[in-house]
Structures are given as C-alpha cells and as structure tokens.
Amino acid sequence: MIVTNIFAEKWYQTDSDLTTIRINIHQNFHKAIRLLIKIYGMSCVICGEFAPKSRTKSGLLQHYLDNHRKETAVFIRQNIMTKTPQQLRKLIIKKSNLMEVFV
C-alpha cells in the first residue's frame, strides 16, 4: 500500500504493509493528532465532540487516547496517509485560510 510517511521531518510516499503503518501510527500518535488538529480543528473526527476535556489540544489528545485510539489510527491511515504530501499541504493551507476568515 502506497502511503505518505507523515512522521518524517519531510513527508514522502512509501510502500508499507498494514502492520508497519499501524505500528508507526501508534508510536507517533501525538504527532498524528497534532496533524489532525491542523486539518480538522478542535473537534473529534470520530465522535464529533468539540474540544472535550478542558477545550485544549492536550485535552483533545487525551480524548483520542482514552476513547478512540484504534478508530483514530484507522481514520489516519485511510484519510490522511493515503493522500500525497501535496494534497496534505493543500488541506492544511485551506484550513488555515478558513480560520483567518473567522478570526
């Protein structure tokens, strides 16, 4: 399966098996959540709850860890890592431009 390594300093595409992808996500879960927050904001992509537990990034990370660890890993594999580095950059830029409109 061709995926983007989102955990390297510079993103690149590589061919990986599902076990390796799963291990990489769990070892770098904090980085993956930071990327999810950059793209999807402060609401949980699994249950839709907005900034649970004290409305902070660390609270949202803890929410993912406590309630949705496996589902989040699947979401990251299917919706983040399957995109090219260019597509991911566009998502982040689009999100940051949307945030400027609301500020």
Q: What's the CA gap between 70 and 73, in Å, rounded?
A: 5
Give the total number of structural domains in the chain: 1
Q: At 54, is the pLDDT very low, low, confident or very high (cuts 50, 70, 90)?
A: low
Question: pTM here?
Answer: 0.82
- Please answer whether residues 30 and 66 qualify as being in contact, where contact means their C-beta atoms are separated by less than 8 angstroms: no
Q: How far apart are CA 8 and CA 92, in angstroms?
A: 17
Cα 75 to chain centroid distance, Å, stands at 8
Contacts of 47 (CB under 8 A, 6+ apart): 67, 68
**pLDDT for res 102:** 44
Say yes or no to pLDDT of 103 above 80. no
Provide the domain limits for residue 73. 2-102
